Amino acid sequence: MIKYILKKLLLAVPILLGITLIDYLIMSIAGNPLDMMVGPRVTRESLAIRAEILGLDQPLWLQYISWLGQVISGNLGYSYKSHLSVAELIGTHIGPTLLLTGTALLLGMLIAVPLGIYSAVHRYEKRDYVLIGFSFGASSIPGFFLSLLLIYFFTVRLGLLPSGGMYTPGTGGSVSDIARHLIMPSLVLAVSIAGNNVRYIRSAVLEILDMDYLRTARAKGIGPALVIRKHALRNALLPIITVIGMEIPVLFGGSIIVEQIFSWPGLGLITMNAIIGRDYPVIMGVCLLSGVVVLCANLLTDILYALADPTIKY
């Protein structure tokens, strides 16, 4: 097991290198970020000096190597715009993002798992079709449109929930206040997770229900409730773990747009600002982080797999 984890970690290194290399190439095509700053009050000469300070006058591969060297020594560089260190910037914004995505994942799975199992147990009945219909609906609605609808109903019409931010400005942000701000953005993300996964879990459970060992369990006459609870659910754990592992990168990306709409002060907000302002060190930092998150999610899936399924040995 330990050997397997080490092997996976080693395999992650070339993937991360690949990710950063692709980022660097895309940005090199885009050109010099300082070109955007040229204007009546900023001369070419002063920008040339800036470029020299930032190392932008060097050839691309040298820039990449020096960036890589920095990263290995634990320094992600400094933002071109705010001059804050990228690590610090990410550090202060990752909390809200984790809170948002974590809540959404929990909420989404709490909806998807029971509904998926229910749907599979009652397969080809009317309620099964209704649930499948709903799950298609949930995965077909654009997140930003759902956000607008929620804001329209809950903020504008009913005046129940705040439409943006993480807590009411001026207050310190009590738990209940943050929770109220969290409801709509996490719901938007949870709906898409649930929509995609109800069908996935349903078909996974359906496959299990057709297995011989379940036929044996039924033949023993222990009753449908016990068959499902004891024999089917245990085995349904595997697809559920897979789903959670797959959802993490999707969530990480999906939160960018949702954070933008609800002005949630997380990574998505600084990412968007960095992208619009061509703040390359920040973009590189976030891309690297997202790569790490995805690879960690994959590794975690593998480990949980081994824990849940005694037949898997690494």
Partner 1 sequence: MNRSFRMLLRRFSRHKMAMYSLVILLTLILMAVTAPLITPYSPTRPSGKFLLPPDSEHLLGTDRIGRDMFTRILYAMRVSLMVGFLATLISTCLGVTLGLLSGYFGGPADRIIMGITDIVMSFPTILLVLVAAAIFKPGLGSIVLILGFVDWPGVARLVRGNVLSLRETNFIKSDITAGMPGRYILFSEIQPNTIGPVLVYATNVFAISILDEAALSFIGMGIQPPTPSLGNILNGAESLSVLTGKPWLWLPAGIVIFLLVICINFVGDALRDAFDPHGVH
- Asked if 151 is part of the footprint of partner 1 (rule: CB under 8 A), the reply reads yes
In the DSSP assignment, the letter for residue 157 is I
Q: Which of 143, 161, 177, 178 binds partner 1 (CB under 8 A)?
A: 143
Determine if 278 is a binding residue for partner 1 (CB under 8 A): yes
* Sign of CA pseudo-dihedral 133, 135, 141, 145: positive
Residue among 228 and 259 whose Cβ is closer to partner 1 = 259
Stretch that binds partner 1, among 21-29, 85-93, 109-117, 180-188 (CB under 8 A): 21-29
Compute the residue count for the chain: 314
Sorted by sequence, the CB contacts under 8 Å of residue 37 that are 6+ apart come out as: 47
The burial of 273, by beta-carbon neighbours within 10 Å (0-12 exposed, 13-18 middle, 19 or more buried), is given as: middle
108 near partner 1, judged by CB under 8 A: no
Q: Is 291 in the site for partner 1 (CB under 8 A)?
A: yes
Question: Under a CB-based contact definition with an 8 Å cutoff, are residues 33 and 280 in contact?
Answer: yes
Q: In the set 18, 91, 102, 114, which binds partner 1 (CB under 8 A)?
A: 18
**Distance (Å, rounded) from C-alpha 270 to C-alpha 250?**
18
- Binding-site member from 6, 9, 13, 14 for partner 1 (CB under 8 A): 14
Q: Is 290 in the site for partner 1 (CB under 8 A)?
A: yes
Choose which of 26, 38, 106, 179 interacts with partner 1 (CB under 8 A): 26
Burial label for 118, CB within 10 Å (0-12, 13-18, 19+), is middle
Cα separation of 39 and 137, whole Å?
49
The reply to whether 68 sits near partner 1 by the rule CB under 8 A is no
Q: How far is the CB of 136 from partner 1 (least distance, A)?
A: 5
From 55, 69, 142, 223, residue interacting with partner 1 (rule: CB under 8 A): 142
User: Which residue from 32, 85, 92, 139 is in contact with partner 1, where contact means CB under 8 A?
Assistant: 139
H or E element in which residue 214 lies: helix 212-219
Residue 118, token pair as written in the block: 């229910």
Of these, 120, 256, 269, 282, which contacts partner 1 (CB under 8 A)? 256
Cα-based distances in Å from 158 to 3, 185, 252, 253: 56, 17, 30, 30
**Binds partner 1 by CB under 8 A, chosen from 249, 299, 306, 309:** 249
Residue 22 interacting with partner 1 (CB under 8 A)? yes
Give the 3-state secondary structure of 113-136.
Answer: HHHHHHHHHCCCCHHHHHHHHHHH
Residue list 28-47, contact with partner 1 (CB under 8 A): 29-30
Q: Which of residues 48-67 bind partner 1 (CB under 8 A)?
A: none
CA distance 9 to 66: 23
Residues that bind partner 1 (CB under 8 A): 14-15, 18-19, 22-23, 26-27, 29-30, 133, 136-137, 139-145, 148-149, 151-152, 156, 249-250, 252-254, 256-257, 260-261, 271-272, 275-276, 278, 283, 286-287, 290-291, 294-295
